[in-house]
Amino acid sequence: MSEVLPLKKIFIRSFFIALLLFLVGVFANSLLDVPRLSLINEVMKDHELHREAYLTEKLFLTVFQGNECEHVSRRIEQLKEELKQVGIDLSTYSTSSWLHKGDFDFLKRKYFLLELRLLNLITGINQVCDSQFIPIIYFYQVDDEISERQGYVLDEISEGFKNQVFIFSFDKDYEDEPLLNTLKRKYKISQAPTIIVDDSLVLEGIHYVGQVNASILKILRKPDPYAEGINFTLVLERAGFDIPEFVKLLGQEYEKTQDEFARGDLLLIMGRISGNQSRICDALEHYDKVNTTDLYEQALLYETSASLGCGRNKRAFYQEAEKIWKQLEIPYRENIAHLLSTGKTSIEVPVNRTSFMKNVSLPTTAQMVTIGRSSLKLTSQDHVLSQVDRVNRDWLSGQINVSPSKLQYLRVFSERLSYPTSALLPEIGWHEGARLQELSSVGFQHTPGFGTLVKNVNGTWLAPDEQGVFRFEVTIDKVYYPTTRFLRMDLALIADTHGINMLVSQALHQNASIVVGCCDHPGKIEAALYLAVHNISTICFTDKEAPRALLNSLSNRIMTSAPYVIEGSHAVMGNRPLRFSLEENIVVANATDEHYSLWYYQTPASYFSKLGEVFPHLFFVTFTDFNQTGKLVEKARREHARVIATRVFNEDDYAQLKTWLSSDPRNRAVLFHSMPYPYGYTLFAEFPEQTTFGDLQPVFS
């Protein structure tokens, strides 16, 4: 009996000792919870303060026209690290807390809200700053081994992409926060673990580093990100090209040329029109090999590398371009390159659409008019700046064998793909390339103008003047050339320039005296008039919209589709005067839009319609297809007309008009949009006393 009592006492003592230890443990745990809670609270407060600081900084920069994207990476990285530490502390301490579990649950909800705010912030930054922060939303289950393993995998991924990937972890079974429930419904979360990469890829179950990294790299290395949705086959479709055959043609050109810039552009074109994105990234290898001393071309290369993505450091390339524009003393390009380097997606530019077109009064007492007296002299002292397209490169005919800056003269273009050899007349040649090659014998300096920046303003693409004021409309088919670099959805760089509207900035910065390019759009005529204000002449071999400047005081510097004579050290364009009575019957060509490029036959009607007040006897004949010049000749015979205003494009136009001109020396022709074509060129040469051009400065008497 005496032995039992001590044993009972031992059990009682042990119980109280254990109880005491338990209470001490609970008390100690409670004491430890206080600083833990305080620590987590402090970190959360700091996080909220830094977030508010960022938002205040953003608001300040918006109000005072600063750049909110310039320092965003540093701010966001700080917020990421703070939030990550809160998550670690909560997951560590909340499971071991006994007396303050409610407090930890409150902080858990607050933590989730902070995550949601940061997620929203990052989404907004990606839209404004082109930052490519990649959010990964992670739904886990408490006390689940698979979820825990997925968490470790995501930690490793976050460290691997330290400044780019953000992990947002949420308890799948947490029901107390409505916003979190909304997020679960959006992604249809039914199991854990589940991760959502960049708001697009939902992965259920555990996924390891290699799988997730591959998805992230696909996003980060996305080719041509701002050209998504652009129809680069637009021109090919309108012209009726067989696209697979065209890609084959480009492949043959790629194998032949040794020019690295051209090889890069050929891969870019093939990749875009065939949808092969790997070719777009492969193009960068060729651009990297280009060795050029031309600063404009160097800037174009840097901006090309930045625009095509494929994992390139866009910031670094834009910074290099910025340095070059500074060296060239072109502030607006320097500023835009700087904004692009910071990742700013919405770039504001000055716009001025003031027109130089003017309504003119026609003389009411005149009896005669002289058309074709205007002239332009080219000498070895001139600096000619031309478009690239149809001069030294021509993507539509697959002739991309040099860089945009390298001067060569192409003589035959897309016609070579469909015309019989006998109809090509390469000895005469086509378009601006063949004409400039012939004129270059006088010894002028010739520079191709390339790399024009264009901006989409309220749905209209505009090119700038020399100050970076965007003025001159550019048609969408030219913007959608497959060699155009898209720096943003609304900001592009046109390598293969086409039209006077794309050449104003280069002409003034490079001190050109004459600019040669297409004038088949109102924006191109506006640009020609603007250049005239700055005492720069323009030559428009293709002149469809030139009649808009008819009798404008500035149009004395615009030479339309005029013949020329080379006299040793100089050439004279125009100077082909013909006199007409205002009472004469004149048969004028017009055309429908039914067939691709038939509309160029509308040019004579545009010209003489503006003179209709003083020419009472105009007879318009509308073409509905090609090879209808015979209708003009027949009409002229019926109306006893001695004047035909038309376009000479092909052999039928030439043959019909030649027969009519040959039949009577009193017969005369005013030719529009004809000089670029071999048959128009030939007719001008064969009938110098009976042909003239659409002179914008007719003289009334």
With respect to residue 160, please indicate whether it lies within any of the assigned structural domains.
no
CA dihedral 663, 370, 523, 536 (to 10 degrees): 120
Residues 607 and 553 in one domain: no
Neighbours of 329 (CB within 10 A): 9
Residues 306 and 391 in one domain: no
With respect to residue 617, please indicate whether it lies within any of the assigned structural domains.
yes
Q: How confident is the model at residue 594 (pLDDT cuts 50, 70, 90)?
A: confident
Least confident of 120-124, 323-327, 657-661: 120-124
With respect to residue 46, please indicate whether it lies within any of the assigned structural domains.
no
- CA 283, CA 273: separation in Å to the nearest integer? 14
Pairing of strands 578-581, 586-591: unpaired
With respect to residue 302, please indicate whether it lies within any of the assigned structural domains.
yes
Q: How confident is the model at residue 479 (pLDDT cuts 50, 70, 90)?
A: very high
- CA 104, CA 205: separation in Å to the nearest integer? 28
Residues 490 and 556 in one domain: yes
Pairing of strands 558-559, 537-539: parallel
Residue 92, pLDDT above cutoff 80: no
Residues 455 and 541 in one domain: yes
Residue 98, pLDDT above cutoff 50: no
Range of the domain at 321: 295-343
With respect to residue 664, please indicate whether it lies within any of the assigned structural domains.
yes
Asked which of 574, 590, 611 is the last residue of a domain, the reply is: 574
Distances (CA, A) of 557 to 14, 364, 369, 497, 533: 111, 26, 20, 21, 9
Do 529 and 554 form a contact (C-beta atoms < 8 A)? yes
Residue 313, pLDDT above cutoff 80: yes
- CA 405, CA 450: separation in Å to the nearest integer? 7
With respect to residue 156, please indicate whether it lies within any of the assigned structural domains.
no
pLDDT in tens, 610-649: 999 999 999 999 999 999 999 999 999 999 999 999 999 9
Contacts of 681 (CB under 8 A, 6+ apart): 428, 563, 674, 675
Least confident of 117-121, 241-245, 304-308, 555-559: 117-121
Q: In what order do the strands lie in the sheet with 165-171?
A: 165-171, 134-140, 194-197, 201-204
Asked which of 527, 551, 574 is the last residue of a domain, the reply is: 574
Residues 583 and 552 in one domain: no
CATH number, domain of 652, equals 3.40.50.280
DSSP 674: -
Residues 421 and 302 in one domain: no
Residue 102, pLDDT above cutoff 60: no
Res 199: pLDDT: 86
- Number of domain units in the chain: 3
DSSP 280: H
Cα 619 to the chain's mean position, in Å? 44
Residues 615 and 688 in one domain: yes
Token pair 């909110």 in the structure block, residue: 68
Task: Name the token pair of 281.
Answer: 């990234």
Residues 589 and 464 in one domain: no
pLDDT in tens, 642-696: 999 999 999 999 999 999 999 999 999 999 999 999 999 999 999 999 999 999 9
Res 119: pLDDT: 87
Residues 466 and 374 in one domain: yes
- CA 647, CA 604: separation in Å to the nearest integer? 7
DSSP bridge pairs for 196? 137, 202
Q: How confident is the model at residue 83 (pLDDT cuts 50, 70, 90)?
A: low
With respect to residue 241, please indicate whether it lies within any of the assigned structural domains.
no
**Of 298, 239, 560, 336, the residue nearest 450 (C-alpha):** 298
Neighbours of 250 (CB within 10 A): 20
Residues 301 and 378 in one domain: no
pLDDT in tens, 30-81: 544 555 556 556 655 665 665 666 566 555 455 444 556 766 666 676 666 6
Residues 403 and 319 in one domain: no
Asked which of 539, 574, 609 is the last residue of a domain, the reply is: 574
Res 505: pLDDT: 98
With respect to residue 405, please indicate whether it lies within any of the assigned structural domains.
yes
Q: How confident is the model at residue 28 (pLDDT cuts 50, 70, 90)?
A: very low
Residues 399 and 515 in one domain: yes
Res 418: pLDDT: 87
Stated as kind and residue range, the H or E segment containing 140 is: strand 134-140
pLDDT in tens, 565-593: 999 899 999 999 999 999 999 999 999 99
Residue 289, pLDDT above cutoff 90: yes
- CA 378, CA 645: separation in Å to the nearest integer? 27
Max CA pair span of the chain: 153
